[in-house]
């Protein structure tokens, strides 16, 4: 269960948080209830914190308070140790990338001009801006020569949001504010963009504040999740594993919904599972040898692989006895394969969709490197629960209001 420990970024938490909100209140004119009331929140440097909650809970307001698109009525906002209440808003905003759901690319500017918006305001030379644009387009997976001179309307929604992310990253700001950035693209593209942002973040180590109403997205993207109720009240601020397995309140457990355990499966990788015992033999092995191997291992069946190690089929002892002359057809095809980097949700999906009830772990070439079973997944869930409860009682619990130090 190493992966859970790794995702909780306790190891690299500096003393001064990158973003700190202290008792922040904001009421919009004409509304009785403040959109955000007495909100305190720390986001550690290099961490992705996700604000998740129902619509109207104040999560977007919180984001806009941080880059001063709106001004708090009360409280303090500290960015990198500086109180930003008095800061010049435009200069502050150039230190933070900003990505919104509607993408908001400038339709009359080319991709290159869009991406270079902040560098141009910062007075970078044209050559340097061009270089930076190409570098960023490549980073977000767009071929610079093909996309640099296009206009936003010539791009798909997913491509537009890639440009939106590139634009936010242009001047290499230490902080990224993302307001439902993938909310306007279809689920397939969304998943891909999420994965790309995760791998980007592993390299860039930005401080990201990410707003979503989708708990699955929060679990996937966040190092920490702040579950918000109306008025910006934070019901729980903890790692995804803790939120899923130890919801701090009725509201959190309702918001997480009934599938919390299944959701938690996405936090663990196949590589972290205890491999199952299973004899693996060549396809042309002698039936007697297969029988012997099964008996020796004490399993019900054996996995047969082809000459380069790719899984072909499962065979049981009975099948061997019945039709040992036509092994390939008698057996269950070993179609359910996973990689070490896949999460358990996918592994479970693959296991239950085949009669064998287990999945073969393969390497990049498709060769078998092990077998995982349902029992292994169940053990992992148990371990996840106990791990989260231990840490929930221990150092991982942090007060919602900041400690004065």
Partner 1 sequence: MASFISYLERRADHLLELALAHATVVALALLVAAVLGVGVGVAVRAHERSAEAALAVAGTFLTVPSYALIGLLVPALGLGYAPTIVALAMYALLPILRNTLAGLRSVDPAVVECARGLGMGDRERLLRVELPLAWPVILAGLRVATVLIVGIAAIAAAVNGPGLGEDIFVGLARIGSASALNYVLGGMLGVVVLAILFDAAYAGLARITTSRGIRG
Q: Give me the least distance between CB of 93 and partner 1, in Å please.
A: 4
Closest CA to 251 of 234, 264, 238, 239: 234
Taking every pair of C-alpha atoms in the chain, what is the biggest distance, in angstroms?
83
CB nearer partner 1, residue 5 or residue 91: 91
Q: Give me the least distance between CB of 59 and partner 1, in Å please.
A: 16
Radius of gyration of the chain (CA): 25
Q: Give me the least distance between CB of 382 and partner 1, in Å please.
A: 44
Size of the chain in residues: 405
Q: Are 70 and 26 in contact (CB under 8 A)?
A: yes
Rounded to whole angstroms, the Cα distance separating 149 from 80 reads 36
The residues with which 359 forms a beta bridge, in sequence order, are: 372
Q: Give me the least distance between CB of 57 and partner 1, in Å please.
A: 20
End-to-end Cα separation, the chain, in angstroms = 33
Rounded to whole angstroms, the Cα distance separating 22 from 298 reads 60
Rounded to whole angstroms, the Cα distance separating 213 from 227 reads 10
Q: Which two tokens stand for residue 231?
A: 């008025």
Q: Give me the least distance between CB of 102 and partner 1, in Å please.
A: 3
Q: Give me the least distance between CB of 101 and partner 1, in Å please.
A: 8
CB nearer partner 1, residue 7 or residue 120: 120
* Site for partner 1, rule CB under 8 A: 67, 69, 89-94, 98, 100, 102-110, 117-118, 121, 151-153, 167-168, 177
CB nearer partner 1, residue 104 or residue 282: 104
CB nearer partner 1, residue 136 or residue 348: 136
Rounded to whole angstroms, the Cα distance separating 266 from 270 reads 10
CB nearer partner 1, residue 181 or residue 247: 181
CA dihedral 314, 320, 323, 324 (to 10 degrees): 100
CB nearer partner 1, residue 92 or residue 317: 92
For tokens 């490197």, the residue is 369
Contacts of 172 (CB under 8 A, 6+ apart): none
CB nearer partner 1, residue 103 or residue 392: 103
Phi and psi (nearest 5°) for 173?
-70, 145
CB nearer partner 1, residue 153 or residue 355: 153
Q: Give me the least distance between CB of 232 and partner 1, in Å please.
A: 19
The CA-atom distances, in angstroms, between 246 and each of 3, 57, 188, 239, 255 are: 18, 22, 30, 10, 13
Closest CA to 141 of 110, 107, 114, 165: 165
CB nearer partner 1, residue 14 or residue 107: 107
3-state SS class at 129: helix
CB nearer partner 1, residue 80 or residue 191: 80
Q: Give me the least distance between CB of 107 and partner 1, in Å please.
A: 5
CB nearer partner 1, residue 92 or residue 292: 92
Q: Give me the least distance between CB of 100 and partner 1, in Å please.
A: 6
- β-strand pairing of 358-362 with 337-339: parallel
Q: Which helix (H) or strand (E) holds 367?
A: none
**Range 167-176 burial, b when 16+ CB lie within 10 A, else e:** bbbbbebbbb
Q: Give me the least distance between CB of 104 and partner 1, in Å please.
A: 3
Q: Are 134 and 88 in contact (CB under 8 A)?
A: no
Q: Give me the least distance between CB of 115 and partner 1, in Å please.
A: 11
């Amino acid at each position: 269960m190493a992966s859970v420990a790794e995702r909780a970024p306790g190891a690299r938490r500096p003393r001064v948080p990158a973003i700190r909100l202290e008792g922040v209140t904001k009421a919009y004119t004409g509304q009785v209830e403040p959109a955000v009331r007495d909100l305190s929140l720390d986001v550690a440097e290099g961490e992705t914190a996700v604000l998740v909650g129902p619509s109207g809970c104040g999560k977007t307001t919180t984001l806009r308070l941080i880059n001063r698109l709106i001004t708090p009525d009360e409280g303090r906002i500290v960015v990198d140790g500086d109180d930003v209440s008095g800061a010049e808003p435009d200069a502050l905003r150039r230190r933070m990338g900003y990505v919104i759901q509607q993408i908001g690319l400038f339709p009359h500017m080319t991709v290159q001009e869009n991406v270079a918006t902040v560098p141009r305001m910062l007075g970078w030379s044209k050559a340097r801006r061009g270089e930076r644009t190409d570098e960023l387009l490549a980073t977000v997976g767009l071929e610079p020569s093909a996309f640099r001179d296009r206009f936003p309307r010539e791009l798909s929604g997913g491509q537009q949001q890639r440009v939106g992310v590139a634009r936010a990253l242009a001047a290499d700001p230490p902080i990224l504010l993302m307001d439902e950035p993938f909310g306007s693209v279809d689920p397939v593209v969304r998943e891909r963009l999420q994965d790309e942002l995760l791998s980007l973040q592993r390299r860039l180590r930005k401080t990201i504040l990410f707003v979503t109403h989708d708990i699955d997205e929060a679990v996937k993207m966040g190092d920490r999740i702040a579950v918000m109720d109306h008025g910006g009240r934070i019901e729980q601020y903890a790692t995804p594993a803790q939120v899923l397995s130890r919801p701090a309140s009725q509201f959190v457990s309702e918001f997480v919904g009934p599938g919390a355990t299944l959701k938690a499966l996405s936090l663990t990788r196949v590589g972290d599972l205890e491999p199952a015992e299973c004899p693996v033999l060549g396809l042309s092995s002698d039936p007697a040898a297969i029988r012997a191997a099964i008996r020796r291992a004490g399993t019900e069946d054996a996995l047969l692989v082809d000459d380069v190690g790719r899984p072909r089929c499962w065979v049981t002892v009975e099948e061997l006895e019945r039709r040992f002359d036509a092994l390939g057809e008698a057996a269950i095809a070993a179609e359910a394969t996973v990689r070490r980097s896949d999460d358990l949700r996918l592994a479970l999906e693959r296991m239950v969709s085949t009669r064998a009830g287990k999945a073969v772990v393969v390497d990049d070439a498709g060769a078998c490197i092990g077998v995982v079973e349902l029992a292994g997944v169940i053990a992992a869930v148990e371990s996840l629960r106990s791990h989260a409860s231990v840490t929930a009682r221990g150092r991982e619990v942090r007060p919602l209001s900041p400690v004065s130090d």
